Structure 1
Amino acid sequence: MGPGFWLPALTNILRAEGLSAWVAWAFAVPPICALFSPLIGGALADERFAAQKLLGWCSLASAATMIWAFGSLDLGLGPWWFITGMAAYSLVTGPTWGLLATISLTHLGDGERQYPLVRMASTLGWIMAGFITSYVINADSSPVSGYASAAARVFAGGLAFLMPNTPPLGVVKNWKTALGIGGFALFKNRDHAVLLGVTGLFSVPLAAFYMYAPELLKALGDITPTATMTIAQWSEVAAMFMLGGMMIRFRLKTLLMWGLGLSMLRFSMSGYAGHTWEVNWHVAGIALHGVCFTIYFVTAQVYLDRRVEPGMRGQAQGLLGLMMAGIGPLVGALFCGWLRNFLVNDKGQGWEMFWWVLAGIIGVCWAIFGMFYKGLRTAK
């Protein structure tokens, strides 16, 4: 729920504060700080601390860093105070996505069917946050959205300590495993390497979603872009309900290919909106985004739970988090920021090429995954 308050609104918040030139950096610096925190968090959960306690402390620390970051905007302390606050936020929240997956998949009786429903709860929270930002606290362009996120993080941190005990299952073998670097051994497996590599590349164009989809909405005349962006989460909810059954019927490779293929279509639709200047095409693309995200990333999490030994699962989820929340978004923020400034002028011309170039990158991901990922076939 926490990021749903401020992430879709961040570009518009910075522009309202006169910090338009800092948008790309605001999306690029945090992933730098989150490059290795998911790995270290996964290693700590595998080898030293109960995962639910680690999740709780990370959530509480993230609330403090939210107040630091958005409070600095409110007080007019300058952009570097905000950037460093967001960097600290990313450092402590980096492990949370993987920790939640580890806890859930450890305790659910039928993880493949039930885990998508757990993820659905976070999606519903995100939707609620977006509506609160736009219609309750009117903070589509205000630092107040960050304070609301901090309050939600405190509540989530308290709940985390009440989750089922998830003790570490691995042992500390050397300094590499203690720091989570041992997780890179997963790249020795061809399928693991393809999945993780494609995830990193796929996350490059995805960085544009929260950076520039709200800006295009506003340019097309939408006065509540943060609430409109929650359409992606509504479609996520629908996808969550279907995904459990789909995992039983289809190979994981098939689902991952569908996730990438639909993402190409989704970005192409936003490009067509920029070409025709019709907002409905962009809204339809936003709606499809939730389906694509769910099919690909939840399936990827389940894949790692299936294919990686129990003592390495926390590090495996952390490595996935590194690719999708660290390396990919870091490169994506810088690349998408450059691409937007290169292709889109002050009159709003060029949005179609911006989104179509990103769709082409996803097409490359689709081709690489289709050619090099093999998967496990069920014996007849």
Structure 2
Amino acid sequence: MKTMNARLSVMMFLQFFIWGGWFVTLGTFLATGLGASGGQIGLAFSTQSWGAIIAPFVIGLIADRWFNAERILAVLHLLGAVLLYQLYRAPDFAAFYPYVLAYMVAYMPTLALVNSVAFRQMQDPAREFSRIRVWGTIGWIVAGVVISMVFAWDSAQGIAGGALRNTFLMSAIASLLLGLYSFTLPATAPVQASGERQGLRQVLGLDALGLLKDRSYLIFFLASILICIPLAFYYQNANPFLAEIGVANPTAKMAIGQVSEVLFMLLLPLFIARFGIKIALLVGMLAWVLRYVLFAYGSGGEQVAMLLIGIALHGVCYDFFFVCGQIYTDAKTPERFRSSAQGLITLATYGLGMLIGFWVAGKVTDHYASAMLHDWQSIWLFPAGFAAVVLVGFCLMFRPEPPVPAAMNGREQPR
């Protein structure tokens, strides 16, 4: 079991090293390296959402039906290595955009695939998954440290010299490694026999949509979409915000969020067992409100501590909503389409919610921009207020359920 966990941990490390290796600094690179506007930056970030929307169909059509998940994972990451290299070579936004769109269509299904591979090797996912998933967070941290502290690509001098372009080359190499490594992962065969007769609904992986008939899961699904609108502001604006107000080593400082994610990832199973799913999800949403308020009133000078606390809240924001939601989804889903269900929640979070969120973030950012500066307080107060509304609505509408760990130990669906 220890050997298996180590192999899955390496998979998670590389999976998120790749993403953290270029995505955090994307907004800064596009603005300074390619001269992109706020709307164009939002367009580039929204490619993540298009990939997430397509992901459930890829997973439902292939991983749950015909081919081993680890083999699909390998092929997608090898293709991703080629596309990331093309991003490294792109001379302008017009050339950059088609490649980033193609890359995200290839990458986003892999988020559900690594979860599927990991869950299928576990007896008690509620206890075991956090210990594996935490290595993905460590991979994201290492990528940020390499960018800021090892190569200083995000320093004022590095940005001026176009060094942020190297992040795509670094990620391409990591994607190549994970693509090759994925062929060695445990066989994760389709649950449904390939010879079984299937209707169109089954072939497209739409079985997982049956989860939405459950009122509690429907409320969770809708909340996942809505809370990702403010999340898009963080992904799109946090690094340019820190760089613009003069915070040193912004990418490395953003890795503080991933350090806290490691801590809270390990605490999450205990918290769910003690307080239940609803409280965990509410704490995650509350953390988004607090974070954006801190960003709105913090600064690169005397109030820099407020910014660092806001960044450190990332562990609560991400783990207590998104990882908790992945565990909740796995517990609610029959085994025959668990991969499809993970793709469905990817659609809700990184797909629909953030597609809307990146568009809104681009519009809001451009609205409060003047010359090369931004009214960051107004920009950050918008997602703070939005997250607060989602928090109140979810608190009132989501019905308490039995603790997930107890249900999952018996592999039963929570009611």
For 2:191, what is the secondary structure of its paired residue? coil
Query: Which of 77, 96, 119 matches 2:110?
Result: 96
Aligned twin of 2:26: 10
Determine the C-alpha separation between the residues in 2 that align with 1:232 and 1:172: 47
Answer yes or no: is 1:342 the counterpart of 2:358: no
For 1:95, what is the secondary structure of its paired residue? helix
For 1:222, what is the secondary structure of its paired residue? coil
Aligned twin of 1:143: 165
Equivalences for 1:206-355 in 2 at 5 Å? 206-273=231-298, 278-346=303-371, 348=373, 350-355=375-380
What do the CA deviations read for 1:214-243 (whole angstroms, capped 9, x no partner)? 111112212321111111100101111111
Equivalences for 1:32-43 in 2 at 5 Å? 32-43=50-61
Query: Which of 124, 139, 151 matches 1:125?
Result: 139
- Residue 87 of structure 1 and its aligned partner are, at CA, apart by 0.5
Greater Cα offset, 354-363 or 36-45: 36-45
Answer yes or no: is 1:58 the counterpart of 2:83: no
What do the CA deviations read for 1:172-200 (whole angstroms, capped 9, x no partner)? 62223222233323222212211111111
For structure 2, which runs of at least 5 residues remain unmatched after alignment?
1-16, 407-415
Greater Cα offset, 250-259 or 102-111: 102-111
Q: How many pairs are equivalent?
A: 375
Amino acid at match of 1:306: A
Determine the C-alpha separation between the residues in 2 that align with 1:138 and 1:38: 37
The CA RMSD over aligned residues, in Å, is 2.0
What do the CA deviations read for 1:7-41 (whole angstroms, capped 9, x no partner)? 11111111222423121221123422442223322
- Residue 66 of structure 1 and its aligned partner are, at CA, apart by 0.8
TM-score, normalised to structure 1, is: 0.93
- Residue 304 of structure 1 and its aligned partner are, at CA, apart by 0.9
Determine the C-alpha separation between the residues in 1 that align with 2:247 and 2:276: 40
Amino acid at match of 1:159: Y
Aligned twin of 1:152: 174
The runs of at least 4 consecutive aligned structure 1 residues that moved more than 3 Å come to 274-277, 344-349
The answer to whether the 8 Å contact 1:177/1:183 transfers is no
Aligned twin of 1:192: 217
Determine the C-alpha separation between the residues in 1 that align with 2:388 and 2:127: 29
Residues 97 and 29 (structure 1), Cα distance of their counterparts in 2 relative to 1, 3 Å cut: closer
TM-score, normalised to structure 2, is: 0.85
Determine the C-alpha separation between the residues in 1 that align with 2:197 and 2:348: 24
- Residue 117 of structure 1 and its aligned partner are, at CA, apart by 1.4
Determine the C-alpha separation between the residues in 1 that align with 2:294 and 2:332: 35
Determine the C-alpha separation between the residues in 2 that align with 1:243 and 1:30: 26
Amino acid at match of 1:360: G
Equivalences for 1:79-118 in 2 at 5 Å? 79-118=93-132
Answer yes or no: is 1:48 the counterpart of 2:66: yes
Greater Cα offset, 370-379 or 221-230: 370-379
Determine the C-alpha separation between the residues in 1 that align with 2:231 and 2:197: 35
- Residue 86 of structure 1 and its aligned partner are, at CA, apart by 0.6
- Residue 348 of structure 1 and its aligned partner are, at CA, apart by 4.3
Query: Which of 85, 94, 113 matches 1:67?
Result: 85
The answer to whether the 8 Å contact 1:200/1:328 transfers is yes
Amino acid at match of 1:158: L
Amino acid at match of 1:147: L
Residues 18 and 89 (structure 1), Cα distance of their counterparts in 2 relative to 1, 3 Å cut: closer
Aligned twin of 2:228: 203
For structure 1, which runs of at least 5 residues remain unmatched after alignment?
none
Amino acid at match of 2:399: K
The answer to whether the 8 Å contact 1:38/1:94 transfers is no
Determine the C-alpha separation between the residues in 2 that align with 1:189 and 1:196: 10
For 1:107, what is the secondary structure of its paired residue? coil
What do the CA deviations read for 1:265-303 (whole angstroms, capped 9, x no partner)? 111111111598732212211110222101111110110
Determine the C-alpha separation between the residues in 2 that align with 1:373 and 1:56: 38
Residues 157 and 226 (structure 1), Cα distance of their counterparts in 2 relative to 1, 3 Å cut: same
For 1:6, what is the secondary structure of its paired residue? coil
